[in-house]
Amino acid sequence: MTIRTLSIDTKNKISEEIIMKGWVNSRRDHGGLIFIDVRDHTGVTQLVFQPEHPEAFAVAEQLRDEYVISATGTVKERAEGLKNPNIESGAIEVVVSDLTILNRSEPLPVQLHGEAQSSEDVRLRYRYLDLRRPKMQTMLKKRAQYYKMMRDFMESHAFTEVTTPILANSSPEGARDFLVPSRVHPGKFYALPQAPQQFKQLLMVGGVSRYYQLATCFRDEDPRADRLYGDFYQLDLEMAFVEDGEEVRVTTEPLIKQLVTEFGKKKLLAEEIPRIPYQEAMDRYGSDKPDLRFGMELVDLSDALRATEFGVFKSTLQAGGVVKAIRVENAAAMSRSQIDQFTEIAKSEGAGGLAYLTYENGEVKSPITKFLSEAELTAIRSKTGAKDGDVVFFGADTRTTANKVLGRLRNEFADHFGLKDPNVVALAWIVDFPFYEWDDKANKLDFGHNPFSMPKGGIGALKSEDKQAILADQFDMVMNGYEVCSGAVRNHNPDVMYEVFGALGYDRTYVDAKFGAMINAFKYGAPPHAGCAFGIDRIFMVLMGEENIREIIAFPKNGSGVDVMMDSPSEVDPIQLKELGIASPTVSHT
């Protein structure tokens, strides 16, 4: 039996007879000769059909793009002037003596070759064809290498891979659950896990020292460029007998650095990853996931402007708010229309407008300069470090809103001025998150992230009257402005669990009903434990230099959360609904 030769190996087979199988990448008929580029998953090789082999030549005349073929022929070295240095097999060609069409292809509805691409919806509808593109083939191979590197690291650090259930129970992870009705138990539902949180903590109780899993997670969140809809993947891990989040951070840092430098071939902004408290990140960068590849930090001018007579600033400060600023270097050349665009962005984040000062030719220009004293203008210049060519933009509001507005503008300015070096990766740990946060929509106090974290100071901290001052032993890793990891020291004490929920008005009965398995388990010698979960899709997206996360997944749903290839979600047979005890929904087509 002759074994199939892959395109990448043909250069080593000169003068040998081989069999190649693949897709017709292109066809060129030169009259007396026919040239076919055949493509497999390793590359492209040129096949030559000559009249000396009339049967093969006749079949070659029928070939069209994307036909699936098997060709037998002899490998020949190309003449010196005909070699193609741009492809792996460019020094050889295969003179075909026998050709079989394995399958034919209709004209493709998507563009596979060249720079022009079909629309995303068309590409996703025909994803099985879109995956034939070299870029997508490379993406799938690189993702497999990426998974292997993670597994190798985890195994070498004594972690045990354990799979956890997909049909699970509802869990408060901050997003909507996907519910699965039970046929065997009418009226009851499973939930697809938003994360393996409870199971991995139970593994710690079960005596597993270090657990990990490349886990599939399910969340009914709106899709966006950096977040897949429905299912996504995490490197989930947990470590027993750990009482400090720093131990988790120190253990996992080398893996992320290795992925950045060895796998992604990118440069780390700094070898030492900073630890930044949550509130400091919000005050300096206006975000709890700051991109550190550029500076442009927020500057608090409240004290310097405390006596100002400028109405907007004065009323804000008197109401207990703040006046903050951000200096954008070399922005003085921005047009009025560009500033108007940034003003609209500021308004979308809750600002009433966007005041600014332009420093140009030794002068300060702005509609607001006449409302500011010379001393105030001097203080603004001094504190922001503004110089000729710069623009200083202001945020005057509550501290939360001012940070949010300027944080968004900081990111937008960096995009506009090209400050995000794609070859550099900036990492940071954000620590000391608030345990509780005020939910404006629900008008009540709620968990900042989830209830499974240990409050700093333990049960004693929960006695504080100012619940929003309580900090969680919780942390995130940030990569180039994306949150790529969330972790914490876990709550392993039943009394603390009851107290955590009691602060929000939930009684013991509620906690027992929601988290009975965990509460009971914690009564039987649960060790202290901590862990985290890395969003491996998002990390892979950054390392591959993509801005749309759907580009790095084999079969993603579109921006509306629809699988246009499989027509999902879809209606189901009424008989299935009847079996599940679910009434057929009334669908309005108006």
Q: What is the spatial distance between Cα 275 and Cα 582, in angstroms, rounded to a whole number? A: 50
Q: What is the spatial distance between Cα 554 and Cα 252, in angstroms, rounded to a whole number? A: 27
CATH 2.40.50.140 region(s) of the chain?
7-103
Q: Is the pTM of this model over 0.85?
A: yes
The architecture of the domain spanning 137-275+427-553 is: 2-Layer Sandwich (3.30)
The identity of residue 203, as a single letter, is: L
Helix (H) or strand (E) holding 139: helix 134-156
Please give the pLDDT value at position 590.
46
The architecture of the domain spanning 294-419 is: 2-Layer Sandwich (3.30)
CATH 3.30.930.10 region(s) of the chain?
137-275+427-553
* Residue with tokens 């402005």, as numbered in its chain: 481
Question: Domain 7-103 classified CATH 2.40.50.140?
Answer: yes
Q: What is the spatial distance between Cα 32 and Cα 51, in angstroms, rounded to a whole number? A: 7
Secondary structure (3-state) at 519? helix
Q: Which of 499, 336, 507, 326 is nearest to 419 (CA)?
A: 326
Please give the pLDDT value at position 442.
84
Q: What is the spatial distance between Cα 351 and Cα 340, in angstroms, rounded to a whole number? A: 13
Are 495 and 485 contacting, i.e. CB atoms less than 8 angstroms apart? no
Q: What is the spatial distance between Cα 368 and Cα 464, in angstroms, rounded to a whole number? A: 44
Burial class (CB in 10 A: 0-12, 13-18, 19+), 469: exposed
pLDDT in tens, the chain (590 residues): 568 999 999 999 999 999 999 999 999 998 889 999 999 999 999 999 999 999 999 999 999 999 999 999 999 999 888 899 988 999 999 999 999 999 999 999 998 887 678 899 999 999 999 999 999 999 999 999 999 999 999 999 999 999 999 999 876 656 789 999 999 999 899 999 999 999 999 999 999 999 999 999 999 988 888 889 999 999 999 999 999 999 999 999 999 999 999 999 999 999 999 999 999 999 999 999 999 999 999 999 999 999 999 999 999 999 999 999 999 999 999 999 999 999 999 999 999 999 999 999 889 999 999 999 999 999 999 999 999 999 999 999 999 999 999 999 999 999 999 999 999 999 999 999 999 998 888 888 888 877 889 998 888 888 888 888 999 999 999 999 999 999 999 999 888 889 999 888 899 999 898 888 888 999 999 999 999 999 999 999 999 999 999 999 999 999 999 999 999 999 999 999 988 988 877 655 44
CATH 3.30.1360.30 region(s) of the chain?
294-419
